[in-house]
Amino acid sequence: MKNLINRALIWAYEKGIIHGSKPDIHVLKTYEQTAKLHNAIINKDLDSIEKHIGGTLVTLIIHAEMNCLTIEQCLETALKEIEPREGEMINGLFVKQSTNN
């Protein structure tokens, strides 16, 4: 996985994305990729699903780099927060239990 992450970062640096864009602008690519993923899921197009999950991951790896983070750090932080959550499945979605915080 580390090799793939490095390949994505090398590509992003070579294309000038890291230094030539800003996170608030680059996030539009993440939206674009997730919209394409949504359409692929609706159309049950497995090849496109694979491609757009990958494309979304690339945009997130770039976001992490732009913010002096690693994708591993971001994933670890998210998992620490969500693993202890209580909740239930409602209409196919996990809905976390409400807290007063």
* Two structure tokens written together for 21: 């864009």
Q: Tell me which amino acid residue 37 is.
A: L
- For 46, the enclosing helix (H) or strand (E) is helix 46-66
Residue 100 is predicted with a pLDDT of 55
Contact 42, 78 (CB under 8 A): no
Q: What is the mean pLDDT of residues 23-46?
A: 97
Q: Work out the pLDDT band at 39, boundaries 50, 70, 90.
A: very high
Q: Is the pLDDT of residue 84 over 70?
A: yes
Q: Tell me which amino acid residue 72 is.
A: E
Q: Work out the pLDDT band at 82, boundaries 50, 70, 90.
A: confident
Q: What is the mean pLDDT of residues 59-73?
A: 97
Residue 18 is predicted with a pLDDT of 96
pTM of structure: 0.87
